[in-house]
A and B are shown apart, each in its own frame.
Chain A
Amino acid sequence: MSEKSLAIIAASHYNKQNNKVLIAEAEKAFDKVLFVPINRVMIAEEKGESKLLFKGINLLDFDACYPRFGSKDYFMGEAILRILDNSKIYTPVSIKGFQLSNHKYYSIKKLAEADLPTLLTALSSSPGVVKKISSEFDFPLVLKLINGFAGKGVMLISDDGQLKSILDTVHLFEEYISTQKYIESKAVDFRCYVFGEKVLTVKRTGAKDDWRANISRGGKAEIVPDNKKMSEAAVKASKILGFDICAIDFIQTKSQPEGFAIIDANFQPGPFRKFLGTTVPKDMMEFIRAKAEKARK
């Protein structure tokens, strides 16, 4: 195998511990690894050419690049992803994927159009739509801020009064929200990490007294045997959204013939180190390495 190099572009506010583990696994898989906080990247557009510069180094000279930033970094992030999309460098995420996955309603819409199992979802910002929403959805229902992450910006709403109050607040901040049907799940969901065609399924259980299954909010995670149909749906979803690496979250529900529905797609999934060790970063890096081997041939 020839020598291969990887640049990891991290979010402006990145988790140091998670990135430490990611870099350690990257250094096992690649001959050269460069960790680049997005705040320190400079984009140069000149003479018909684009460059991504960090300390004078052009990241486009690397064999692979793994961008791991979120919606807060959209100003630079979208332009960086556009440049990567147009280059020969391998990257497991696309600008299309970034844009879709940072919009909780739009991503579900695209997946539903592809006949993947999803929950009834609406998009709104106006308090005036309260009556319409509450007539389409039974209470309780779930409200999500469009750019929310790690369970933040996700609210469980019990009645019209609560809904109107939240929408009034959201409207004040000129935010859009996605409304979704609530499915009782006992704070359990399934995260399918997708690496190309390979899937790792993780069962997440929420903290006591939390209806959400997010690990960052005190829940726990364990690897479980793959559900073939769920894995196929996860791989299909990742392709539709434009990712080679991502996490697709599912909830079990009898409302879908498959027995599950997609509730979220995550562009830069956390590795759940406490419960899964280095499994996820290891799989990520091995996958990217294998792709980088083919990319420049």
Chain B
Amino acid sequence: MLDEIERRGIYCQVKAGSHYALSNEPLQTTTLNAYAVKIPRTFVFRSQGKVKILANKLSYPALVKTFAKGEKSQRFIVDSQKSLLAMAEGVKHELDGMIVREFIEGDIDQCAVIGNKVYNIQRKFEKGVIQPAKKAKMSSLSSKDTETAIHAARICGCDIATVKMCKGYVLKVKPLVDFLLYNRKTGADLLADVTELFAEKTGFVKGEGK
């Protein structure tokens, strides 16, 4: 569908083919890394036996995600080699794969990217827990992190996206933005920005029609 939209010259905020990287986490990670976006140290594999090989090479804590039947099935933070091995032993069902990633401890910058504009809300990391988005507060980003957020969104084929970062590392890109949340937290009108973006991309001038 995205391919057909693009072929007909219709503007869309997600590009043809972007759904692959947006729906397959290892592909997204690899793609970001390939385009020099800073990501945490990440390992992807299918066989649980690989965990034993990795366990003494990782720094802890580490984030572990398991995937089955095309979707994320479980998510753990493990704080030691022993707990990583125990977690792997406990997985009994057939997996599509596992991701083990260096866990970056710090506040999460959750950025809404709308074209070249970025709005950031920060979720505090306290006592080992990341606060939920509804408790996040608006926070400014360095120009470098702002560029990173925009670059990450573009690499994944999005003009509008939510980019999650921590200490400058990109953790995830999603093609959706919770506009109401950001409007509330930032006082800005993100939907007006979206309208402006679409107008710019389509050459629409208000009052003059198409």
Contacts and interface: CB of A to CB of B under 8 A. Distances in A.
A36 to B, nearest CB: 12
B134 interface: no
Q: What are the 4 A-B residue pairs with the smallest beta carbon separation, nearest first? A: A79-B26, A75-B96, A43-B44, A78-B27
A83 B26 CA distance: 11
Interface residues of A, number: 28
Contacts of B39: 45
8 contacts: A41-B46, A42-B43, A42-B54, A46-B42, A48-B36, A50-B34, A76-B26, A79-B27
Contacts of A113: 7
A45 B29 CA distance: 8
Interface string A84-128: 001000000000100100000010011001000000000000000
A44 B20 contact: no
Contacts, number: 81
A128 B141 CA distance: 48
Given A39-B47, A45-B41, A79-B26, 19 more contacts: A39-B46, A40-B47, A42-B43, A42-B50, A45-B39, A48-B33, A50-B30, A76-B26, A76-B46, A76-B97, A78-B24, A78-B26, A82-B27, A82-B31, A82-B34, A83-B30, A83-B34, A99-B17, A99-B20
Interface string A15-50: 000000000000000000000001111111111111
B60 interface: no
Interface residues of A, dominant DSSP: helix
A146 to B, nearest CB: 13
Interface size, B (range) = 20 to 34
Interface string A68-83: 0000001110110011
A48 B39 CA distance: 8
A59 to B, nearest CB: 14
B3 interface: yes
A12 interface: yes
B74 to A, nearest CB: 15
B43 A44 contact: yes
B198 interface: no
B45 A43 contact: yes
Given A46-B41, A46-B42, A106-B3, A78 B34 contact: no
Contacts of A50: 30, 33-34
A79 B41 contact: no
A64 to B, nearest CB: 20
Interface string B8-33: 00000000010010001011011101
Given A75-B67, A83-B34, A109-B3, A45 B42 contact: yes
A75 B45 contact: no
B3 to A, nearest CB: 7
A43 B30 CA distance: 9
A113 B7 CA distance: 10
B46 A79 contact: no
Contacts of B50: 40, 42
Contacts of A82: 27, 30-31, 34
A106 B96 CA distance: 24
B105 to A, nearest CB: 18
Contacts of B27: 78-79, 82
